[in-house]
Amino acid sequence: MLRVAVVGSGPSGCYTAQSLVQLDNDVCVDVLDRLPCPYGLVRYGVAPDHEKIKSLQNNLRTVLEHERVRFLGGVRIGPDGVPGARLRELYHAVVYCVGAATDRHLGIPGEELPGSWSATEFVSWYSGHPDFPEHERNGAPDHDGFVAGANSAVVIGVGNVAVDVTRMLARGATELSPTDIPQGALTALAASRVTDVDMVGRRGPSQARFTTKELRELGSLPDTEVTVDARELELDPAYADPSGLPAPQRRNVEVLRGWAEAPPRAARHRIRLRFFLRPVELLAEAGRVGAVRFERTVPDGRGGVTGTGRYEDIAAQLVLRSVGYRGVPLEGLPFDAASGTVPHLGGRVLREGAVSPGEYVAGWIKRGPTGVIGTNRPCAKETVTSLLEDAAALARRELPGDPLTALRADGVEPVEWPGWQSIERAEAQLGASLGRGVVKLPDWQSLMNAVHGSAH
């Protein structure tokens, strides 16, 4: 029996485990995660109001409940946990599916001002990620730190995460209450006075990264007006004649054209989509961010933009920098800093250009933070195909026994599937006590209390 460790239980980890057990009856898989909860970005990245995408958890659940798959949560791989080298001793093969754990930086003055956050932090907060650094105000957790004191927000970037955070800022309690959003984030967003959100791209509408379905959804938000300035759209040469654009971009441009031509109407929330503005500085006001300074850009004819030396300040007491995720190096694994990925050949990890036996990657750490959840399926399958080609050679090495026994002997106490099920029960109970559906537990203490069966 080939024993494989999959590090990370997000979509790429689950699809890797699924392919492994589907394609080979002689494989068993441990899916390890540093959190006690599975599903990675499906649980902690997909916005709570996207319930249909979230329901993918049900598909991933069937993978983790497969008889030859074990979920081992609460196991950190790395220097402050189980070293990667130890994992390779315990398993015939290790597949790293650790995603892209951090966010890209703008590298402009004022980026660290209070009130300026990465979209990742905001997403982690409303998703109840237990690592979200809790803010203290007068010694108490400051749950409404994001929106408190803000009436306008700027979202930098025009990808799907930018659309998610913009939409969440315009959502009210009625729409969020039926979701699994943690109670603290719900209360804060319900009390939010943010009425104006500018979502700003440095290039033109035909280069925006959002998908049309997500873009259109902004136009269907209750009591929300979406505006676009036709003069900005016209700076894009493809706006006058979009027929040469690939279909997804052409559809985006048509949605934007519709908004640019729509008559103004009164609404509580205004979302403005802005283009050809590149952020150059975050400006302070009363000790926190007060505005973002942008330089007007124009197309350079090669898909990029050049600055014009003309500037525009957009007022905002909340700035969300949504400029993409980034992979982080893993102790003991090679890493290409330029792309934020692990060098590989068909999913086989490459060390100084040579295949490293028994080490594989799948998902964002393999190909970078692009694509939708389903993109991880073929990506995982490619890696698994490589691994199974190597299986005969890998299985020749004798292992010390059941890795779980060895991990326990090393002092590691994984959260197994029943532990996760206790968390699910506690979240259902919490929701019932609040008159809501399932409500996420947003901190380590309550998650671990649930695992160990104590009251939270």
Annotated binding-site residues for NADP(+) read: 202-203, 214, 371
327: its two tokens: 């992979």
Residue 244 CB, shortest distance to ligand NAP, in Å, is 19
Q: How far apart are CA 154 and CA 136, in angstroms?
A: 24
**Segment contacting ligand NAP (CB under 6 A): 74-82, 161-169, 233-241, 432-440?**
161-169
* Buried-exposed string 74-102: b where 16+ CB fall within 10 A, e elsewhere: bbebeeebbebebbbebbbbbbbbbbbbe
Q: Binding residue for ligand NAP (CB under 6 A) from 156, 238, 245, 380?
A: 156
- Residue of closest CB approach to ligand NAP: 159
Residues facing 31 on adjacent strands: 6, 71
Residue 105 CB, shortest distance to ligand NAP, in Å, is 8
Q: How far apart are CA 84 and CA 94, in angstroms?
A: 9
Give 3-state DSSP helix, strand, coil % of the chain, rounded to 5: 35, 25, 40
Q: What is the amino acid identity at position 110?
A: G
Q: What's the N-to-C CA distance of the chain in angstroms?
A: 41
310-369 residues in contact with ligand NAP (CB under 6 A) are 322-325, 369
**Segment contacting ligand NAP (CB under 6 A): 254-262, 290-298, 352-360, 370-378?**
370-378
Residues facing 271 on adjacent strands: 197, 226
Residue 233 CB, shortest distance to ligand NAP, in Å, is 16
Number of residues that bind ligand NAP (CB under 6 A): 25
Cα dihedral value 201, 207, 209, 211, nearest 10: 120
Residue 273 CB, shortest distance to ligand NAP, in Å, is 12
Please report whether residue 218 would count as binding ligand NAP according to CB under 6 A: no
Please report whether residue 212 would count as binding ligand NAP according to CB under 6 A: no
263-292 residues in contact with ligand NAP (CB under 6 A) are 278-279
Q: Say how many residues make up the chain.
A: 456
Which residue number, 169 or 447, has a Cβ lying nearer to ligand NAP? Answer: 169
Q: How far apart are CA 338 and CA 227, in angstroms?
A: 36
Residue 285 CB, shortest distance to ligand NAP, in Å, is 22
**Segment contacting ligand NAP (CB under 6 A): 200-208, 239-247, 422-430, 432-440?**
200-208
Return residues touching ligand NAP (CB under 6 A).
Answer: 106, 156-162, 164, 201-203, 207, 209, 214, 278-279, 322-325, 369-372
